[in-house]
Structure 1
Amino acid sequence: MMKLLDAHCHLQDPRILSKTPNLIKSAQDSGVVHFVVNGVSEQDWHLVKNLAQNHPSIIPSFGLHPWYVADRSPNWFKTLKEYLDSTPSAAVGEIGVDKGSHGKNIDFSEQVGVLQQQLELAKDLNKPASIHCVRAFGDLLELMKSVGPFPAGVILHSYLGSAEMVPEFSKLGAYFSFSGFLMSLKANKAKKMLKMVPSDRILLETDAPDALPTSNIDSLFFVEGDTSLPKELHDQITSSSTSTSLSNSSQVVTDASMLSKETLNHPANIHSVLDYVASMLEITKEELADLSYQNAVRLFSYEGSKVLQK
């Protein structure tokens, strides 16, 4: 069986937290060995830590996401350092900058200041950091140039930046992680960008419970109890094992692009991301699985990690 590592997800998300043990088992049965679970604010760091303590497969990651910058407490940075100090297996993330629909209402200079503090912390701790960036890649590159390079690596999670910026980010120590969001790009643009990514810098992720791949329904895994699904799909999932995709489905809905944007993503759907990226790169999915897994193991093999290289 192929080994995969989900380089970025949110299994602590309240929409799926109660189902996390089943989701992990289903994904593990499909070959996913580890899940990098990213906290986003002071309010969920303890949930990430608890999940990692209860599930050996979870690599915890703590960070302040740009959407929650305005809600941070005066002691947020001290608290973050305490979580990282007390959790040797943890990486840094999710951190970043956002000028998109969610981020445009949050003071950008504050976002940059908070990101800079966390990038410097990750560098000091010699740990990788998972970075969210929406419509701010130029700003991010300048900040990374001023703080970097990053020998321990940074992960540009759900990367949708330009092909032209890939070499610049690579020089600074960036890895490029791809989720179902990649399928929102035009195929020729996605292919051009993917072809620019060095083979030793490519990662795969799900960003679950977000970023449901727009694949055929019968190739996807769905979350049991997801009320946003059409009734026929919901009933079928409820009456069948959640560890299987909806094979032999004869639904009116044929692919996930026809589903509600609220539909939850299952961590086992990393296989759909694998298939898509492999097709764009014109290599086999077995080659890409091995490549991305080895890259992830190398990146997450810092001192105290759960995935130290043998």
Structure 2
Amino acid sequence: MDLQTGLPDGRTETASSVELFDTHVHLYDEQFADDLDRVFSRMAQAGVARAMCVGYDVDSSEKAVAMTKSRTGIVAAVGVHPHDAGSVAADYLARLADLARHPRVAALGEIGLDYYRDLSPRPVQQQVFREQLALVRKLNIPVIIHVREAYGDLLDILRRDGISPAGGVMHCFSGSWEVAQQAMEMGFYISLAGPVTFKKALKLKEIAVRVPADRLLIETDCPFLAPEPFRGRRNEPAYVRYVAEHIAVLRDISLGELAQVTTANARRLFNLI
């Protein structure tokens, strides 16, 4: 991996001189089973100092918490994804609440609505989402939101139920600028992932420029959604540098400035300052 990055004025910046925070990873995924040590080595070489390991059900949330105990630089989020809403156990909220009390758990997520795949019935998705939002408010913890083709219902629920004062993030954002504005008004950060680097992702590039610096986060969502030039391959935390580079060019700032701002935002949101 080339560890030098071009800056707008033609200078270069080494990865060791920046500190990046990948705010959404799934490093417990079986796709990392054979080379996790090398993944962490490349992550460090790319200047990625921290990563948020996010659960999608109770079992994966337990794995995310376990990873915080064995790997430096990892914090965890626990929650039930809308795909898994239809199969929750009766005690899932109690189990999430117990996991959330671990000192390295910094958020609840990823939770939300997904009408693209509809792997759980929509009324069930909404019920489980609202139950977890109530837990977010009870624990006063940040929330990580997953939403796909369900922005209308999601925003309606958020307006009606609310989140905690700790705020939250719209992870792997794919909505419009109008939706981004509404989310930020509710206290959310906007996180951009690999798709912002895709040539035809003009809407995301516009959002990357327009989101205020103090509301911007970056992520990989690995092992999914690898950025250019790795599109179609397995994603990993080191590649968040390519997301950062691309956004820095769009905003006409240095990688160092983009890294400083987004890392400070992540540390603030997840109370890691």
Match of 1:88 among 81, 97, 103: 103
Q: Alignment identity in percent? A: 30
- Specify the structure having the higher radius of gyration (Cα): 1
Matched, 1:67 2:83: yes
CA displacement at 1:205 relative to structure 2: 0.6
Distance 2:41 2:155 in 1: 38
Match of 2:259 among 274, 279, 289: 289
Matches within 5 A, 1:33-72: 33-72=49-88
* Paired residue secondary structure (2:53): strand
Change (3 A) 1:272 1:16: same
Give the structure 1 partner of residue 120 of structure 2.
106
Give the structure 2 partner of residue 246 of structure 1.
none
CA displacement at 1:185 relative to structure 2: 7.2
Are the counterparts in 2 of residues 7 and 204 from structure 1 also a CA contact under 8 Å?
yes
Give the structure 2 partner of residue 269 of structure 1.
239
Q: Please tell me the residue identity of whatever aligns with 1:274.
A: A
Match of 2:133 among 105, 119, 123: 119
Distance 1:77 1:200 in 2: 32
Deviations 1:40-79 (A, max 9, x none): 1122222112111111311011100111112211111111
CA displacement at 1:182 relative to structure 2: 2.4
* Paired residue secondary structure (1:165): helix
Change (3 A) 1:64 1:270: same
Give the structure 1 partner of residue 217 of structure 2.
203
- Larger strand percent: 2
Pick which of 53-62 and 186-195 moved more. 186-195
CA displacement at 1:153 relative to structure 2: 1.4
Give the structure 2 partner of residue 10 of structure 1.
26
Give the structure 2 partner of residue 231 of structure 1.
none
**Consecutive unaligned residues in structure 2, runs of 5 or more:** 1-16
Match of 1:212 among 226, 238, 241: 226
Q: Please tell me the residue identity of whatever aligns with 1:58.
A: I
Are the counterparts in 2 of residues 200 and 291 from structure 1 also a CA contact under 8 Å?
yes
Distance 1:266 1:273 in 2: 12
Match of 2:169 among 155, 160, 176: 155
Change (3 A) 1:198 1:188: same
Q: Please tell me the residue identity of whatever aligns with 2:61.
A: W
Give the structure 2 partner of residue 194 of structure 1.
208
User: How many residues were matched structurally?
Assistant: 256
Change (3 A) 1:68 1:105: closer
Q: Please tell me the residue identity of whatever aligns with 1:29.
A: Q
Q: Please tell me the residue identity of whatever aligns with 2:104.
A: S
CA displacement at 1:124 relative to structure 2: 2.1
TM-score scaled by length of structure 1: 0.78
Deviations 1:276-299 (A, max 9, x none): 111222222221111101101111
Distance 1:212 1:125 in 2: 33
Deviations 1:231-258 (A, max 9, x none): xxxxxxxxxxxxxxxxxxxxxxxxx34x
Change (3 A) 1:146 1:17: farther
